[in-house]
Structure 1
Amino acid sequence: MKFVIQRVNRAEVSVENKIIGKIQKGLLVFIGISNHDTKEIADKMLRKLIQLRIFEDNNGKTNLSIEDIDGHLLLVSQFTLYANCKKGNRPSFIDAGSPSLASELYNYLIEKAMIQIPYVGTGEFGADMKINLENDGPFTIILDSHEICLHK
């Protein structure tokens, strides 16, 4: 599982010119899921995401988590995070999770996030989405479950 995390002042996702998810200050998270991912991996990744101290405190140090600032989350599925560009010029997506598994884990992450974060916006799995955002920084971090979790 891969998360590309962007600290934002605001972000929104639209499908067919209709805004379906919108947040204020918080994190926009693009989520890539592979066939090796599980709910246990999703739990670890979500815990890491929520505990990341990447918001500034009163001293200007990145020392606060999204919970500390009562921030928002916008979770967007993004299978292209598993693009393999080793051969040729056309990316291969063979490492991306099957649509059924990816949809299940994406929805699982949303449900779990909503338990901990008061406001969670979402994209639409499999849709042609347009993202509009204002970075705060910019501040972008990549979390990869291969680095966070132990795979067998």
Structure 2
Amino acid sequence: MKAVIQRVSKASVTIDQKVVANIKNGLLVLLGIVDQDTTEDINWLVNKIANCRIFNDDNQVMNQSLIDINGDVIVVSQFTLHASTKKGNRPSYIKAAKPNVAIPLYHQFVSQFETVTGKSIQTGEFGADMKVELLNDGPVTIIIDSKNKE
């Protein structure tokens, strides 16, 4: 399971010209899922993201977590995070989990995030053509892969 997390001042997701998610201070999480991902990957990744100290404290030092600042979150499914660009110029997405595997894991990820943060997590729509807007704060963008825990 791979996530790109972006610290944002604001972010939104629009589908068919309708805003389906909208946050202020917090994180936009782009989530890629592979067939081998498990509940263990979900738990590890959610805890890592929720507790990652990437928000500024009073001294303007990145020393606070999403939980510390009571920040908001949008989670967007993004199978292209697992693109392989080894051969040719057209990326291959063969590593990305098919919807029958990915959708339940995606929903479990969101549910676990709500449990850990105690907040409602906003989302895009799995498989939809989404327009994602954000104001990256910093900018701070971090890639976390649950397969690289050690």
Given the two structures, how large is their TM-score scaled by the length of structure 1? 0.95
Residue identity opposite 2:90 in structure 1: R
Residue identity opposite 1:123 in structure 2: G
SS at match of 1:92: coil
- Check conservation: 2:21, 2:74, Cα contact below 8 A: yes
- In structure 1, what is the equivalent of residue 136 of structure 2? 135
Tell me, in whole angstroms, the C-alpha distance in 1 between the residues paired with 2:145 and 2:113. 18
Q: Does 1:22 align with 2:38?
A: no
- In structure 1, what is the equivalent of residue 147 of structure 2? 146
Structure 1, unaligned runs of 5 or more: none
- Check conservation: 1:6, 1:135, Cα contact below 8 A: yes
Residue identity opposite 1:54 in structure 2: I
Tell me, in whole angstroms, the C-alpha distance in 2 between the residues paired with 1:84 and 1:56. 35
Residue identity opposite 2:34 in structure 1: S
CA RMSD of aligned residues (A): 0.9
Following superposition, the deviation at residue 123 of structure 1 comes to 0.5
SS at match of 1:67: helix
- In structure 2, what is the equivalent of residue 90 of structure 1? 90
- Check conservation: 1:3, 1:32, Cα contact below 8 A: yes
- Check conservation: 1:45, 1:148, Cα contact below 8 A: no
Tell me, in whole angstroms, the C-alpha distance in 2 between the residues paired with 1:126 and 1:120. 18
What does the per-residue CA deviation read over 1:10-29, in whole Å, with 9 as the maximum and x for residues that have no partner? Answer: 00001101011111100000
Aligned residue pairs, count: 149
Tell me, in whole angstroms, the C-alpha distance in 1 between the residues paired with 2:133 and 2:12. 5
Q: Identity over aligned residues, as a percent?
A: 47
SS at match of 2:67: coil
Tell me, in whole angstroms, the C-alpha distance in 2 between the residues paired with 1:114 and 1:145. 19
Following superposition, the deviation at residue 39 of structure 1 comes to 1.1
- Check conservation: 2:11, 2:24, Cα contact below 8 A: yes
- Please identify runs of 4+ aligned residues in structure 1 that moved more than 3 A: none
Given the two structures, how large is their TM-score scaled by the length of structure 2? 0.96
SS at match of 1:68: helix
